[in-house]
């Protein structure tokens, strides 16, 4: 496990960029930022000339001796942004990304995904794959991920262990699925599904008792794979643990909506279904949310449910879907981004950010301008502060506010082996930031910090 504290505080001087609201990005120039031993931001001030930094540090109350510590002076073309947050990620699908394109969801699950996820019955396979998965997402700047595991308890414990060992902040859940899946990849009974879930929760609480990095999250795969008894059992766990997060899929495809309606004819819609079982609250992350009617959107807002927007998978699977993200944001609904690998093909939140922008242009066209396209500022918000709100962590991460934990990415737009747009002498910080968002990749992410610890290899 990573050390709970830093050896020395961290000091940065330069450009820091974070979201203040969905529409507004704040660019702090000549900023001075101090991170404590505990990994929290304890000082932030803009417009501090570099020659004055040492002198200023010597007069700050509550910061003894930091004036003698090394300072990371960010140069032109370098800046800090908050860590990326992946609100919807199927960890077992790490090695199947990009496969099964063009298949409708039920065929894709049965022909590609379920046979692949069944491999995680082998703990050694899980250990190898999850090590690659977590390292891969850290490389892409994902400091926090909400992971679906497989249905296997042991493998999902390994996923939680791996996140903790590598220092990534994570919500990790054992998938509940006791029907409508092949016999080789199905919980043997509702009781087994619940028992394995409770055992997994106990494991996470043992390895990270205060949830500093890793927390369990209840994960019914979707209603199609769960009957009333199983959903009620998961809802019972949720009631007993009111601070525990919940995640599942919602209005992902037209086929999924139709099949769910056939299986649960007593409910007019998925919002009422999940609410009935106690799984539709401010602690819930609903992935996709492409086709809700106005009633369901109202229920999402009223219950403060979070939306995990997955624009890559929504537009490259069996059908093309554009969720009403602008409407959600204007209503004050919590929205973040998800890579949704392997429903998506990319492990990059930067790719998801760009695809969110592109998909919103399609949404604007589809609605004759009634649902305007997202701005790039809004897309960056989804990748950072928006995701923190969806994961109920905005009090701890997502911006560089004093008191929050230092989850951050050190970006360089001038790395020699990068493919991002060349930075020119007259480029402003705003232009360099836009060039990174639209053309950068993992090579521009020089360092990844979680609670002040550098975790990117």
Q: Considering the domain boundaries, does residue 4 fall inside one?
A: no
By DSSP bridging, strand 445-450 and strand 453-454 are: antiparallel
Asked if 355 contacts 105 with a C-beta cutoff of 8 angstroms, the reply is: no
**54 and 165, same domain (yes or no):** no
Let me know if residue 150 belongs to a domain: yes
Q: Write down the pLDDT at residue 4.
A: 64
pTM above 0.95, yes or no: yes
For residue 344, give its domain range: 84-391
pLDDT of the residue at 66? 80
Dist. CA 267–CA 50, nearest whole Å: 62
Number of folded domains that form the chain: 2
Residue 1 forms part of a structural domain: no
State both tokens at 413: 């737009």
Give 15-57 pLDDT, tens digit per residue.
999 999 999 999 999 999 999 999 999 999 999 999 999 888 8
| pLDDT tens, residue by residue, 95-134 | 999 898 888 888 989 999 999 999 999 999 999 999 999 9
Q: Are residues 275 and 134 in the same domain?
A: yes
Q: Do residues 70 and 91 both lie within one domain? A: no
Using CA atoms, how far residue 298 sits from 271, 292, 306, in Å, is: 10, 10, 13
At residue 69, the pLDDT reads 87
H or E element that contains 235: helix 228-240
Q: Are residues 89 and 75 in the same domain?
A: no
296 within domain boundaries:
yes
Among 344, 371, 391, residue at a domain's last position: 391
Angle between helices 349-366 and 376-383 in degrees, nearest 10: 130
Q: Are residues 226 and 213 in the same domain?
A: yes
State yes or no: pLDDT of 1 exceeds 60. no
DSSP letters along 271-332, please?
Answer: HHHHHHTT--STTEEEEE--S--HHHHHHHHHTT-EEEE-HHHHHHSSS-----HHHHHHTT
Q: Is residue 199 part of a domain?
A: yes
Between 247 and 69, residue with greater pLDDT: 247
- Rounded distance between C-alpha atoms, residue 218 and residue 278, angstroms: 12
Q: What angle do CA 252, 245, 164 make, to 5 degrees?
A: 105
Residue 266 and residue 233 in one domain: yes
- Both 161 and 273 in a single domain? yes
Return the closest-CA partner of residue 151 out of 199, 194, 109, 186.
186
* 316 and 306 both lie in a single domain: yes
Q: pLDDT by residue (tens digit) across 214-234? A: 999 999 999 999 999 999 999
CATH number of 124's domain: 3.20.20.140
Is a pLDDT exceeding 80 seen at residue 431?
A: yes
Q: Is the pLDDT of residue 2 over 60?
A: no
Q: Are 136 and 157 contained in the same domain?
A: yes
For residue 67, pLDDT over 90 is answered with: no
Percent of the chain with pLDDT over 90: 89
Q: What is the mean pLDDT of residues 290-308?
A: 98
| 2 within some domain | no
Is the confidence at residue 309, as pLDDT, over 90? yes
Does 313 reside within a domain? yes
CATH number at residue 54: 2.30.40.10
Task: Please check the confidence at residue 171 and state whether its pLDDT lies above 70.
Answer: yes
63's tokens = 């910061």
Q: Write down the pLDDT at residue 318.
A: 77
The pLDDT score that the predictor gives to residue 3 is: 52
Judged against a pLDDT cut of 70, whether residue 261 lies above it is answered with yes
**Which pair of tokens denotes residue 364?**
């604007």
CA distance 142 to 18: 16
Phi and psi angles of residue 17, each rounded to the nearest 5 degrees, phi first: -130, 125
Shared domain for 172 and 77, answered yes or no, is no
- Check if the beta carbon of residue 377 is closer than 8 Å to that of residue 418: no
Task: Provide mean pLDDT across the span 253-278.
Answer: 96
Q: Average pLDDT of the chain?
A: 95
Q: Which of 373, 391, 409 is the last residue of a domain?
A: 391
Contact predicate 104/130, CB 8 Å: no
């Amino acid at each position: 496990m990573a050390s709970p504290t830093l050896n020395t505080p961290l000091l940065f001087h330069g450009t820091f960029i974070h979201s203040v609201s969905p529409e507004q990005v704040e660019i702090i120039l000549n900023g001075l930022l101090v991170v404590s031993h505990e990994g929290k931001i304890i000082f932030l001030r803009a417009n501090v000339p570099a020659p004055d930094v040492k002198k200023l540090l010597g007069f700050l109350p509550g910061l003894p001796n930091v004036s003698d510590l090394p300072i990371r002076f960010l140069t032109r073309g370098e800046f800090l942004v908050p860590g990326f947050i992946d609100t919807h990620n199927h960890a077992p699908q790490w090695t199947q990304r990009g496969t099964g394109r063009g298949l409708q969801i039920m065929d894709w699950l049965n022909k590609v995904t379920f046979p692949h996820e069944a491999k995680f019955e082998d703990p050694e396979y899980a250990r190898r794959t999850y090590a690659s998965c977590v390292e891969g997402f850290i490389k892409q700047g994902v400091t926090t991920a909400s992971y679906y595991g497989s249905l296997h308890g042991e493998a999902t414990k390994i996923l939680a262990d791996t996140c903790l060992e590598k220092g990534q902040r994570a919500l990790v859940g054992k998938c509940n699925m006791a029907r409508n899946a092949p016999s080789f990849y199905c919980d043997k009974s509702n009781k087994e599904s619940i028992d394995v879930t409770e055992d997994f929760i106990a494991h996470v609480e043992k390895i990270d008792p205060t949830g500093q990095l890793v927390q369990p999250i209840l994960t019914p795969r979707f209603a199609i794979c769960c009957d009333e008894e199983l959903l009620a059992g998961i809802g019972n766990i949720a009631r007993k643990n009111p601070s525990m997060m919940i995640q599942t899929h919602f209005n992902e495809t037209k086929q999924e909506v139709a099949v769910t309606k056939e299986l649960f004819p007593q409910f007019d819609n998925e919002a009422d279904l999940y609410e009935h079982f106690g799984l539709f609250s401010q602690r819930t992350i609903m992935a996709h949310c492409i086709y809700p009617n106005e009633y369901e959107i109202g229920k999402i807002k009223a219950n403060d449910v979070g939306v995990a927007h997955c624009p890559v998978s929504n537009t490259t699977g069996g059908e093309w879907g554009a969720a009403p993200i602008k409407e959600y944001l204007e209503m004050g609904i919590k929205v973040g981004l998800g890579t949704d690998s392997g429903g998506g093909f990319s492990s990059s939140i930067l790719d998801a950010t760009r695809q969110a922008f592109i998909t919103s242009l399609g949404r604007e066209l589809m609605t004759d301008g009634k649902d305007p396209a997202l701005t790039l500022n809004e897309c960056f918000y989804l990748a950072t502060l928006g995701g923190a709100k969806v994961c109920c962590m905005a009090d701890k991460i997502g911006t560089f506010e004093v008191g929050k934990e230092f989850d951050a990415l050190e970006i360089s737009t001038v790395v020699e082996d990068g493919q991002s747009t060349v930075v020119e002498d007259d480029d402003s910080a705003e232009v360099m930031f836009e060039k990174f968002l639209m053309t950068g990749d993992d090579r521009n992410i020089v360092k990844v910090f979680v609670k002040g610890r550098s975790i990117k290899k």
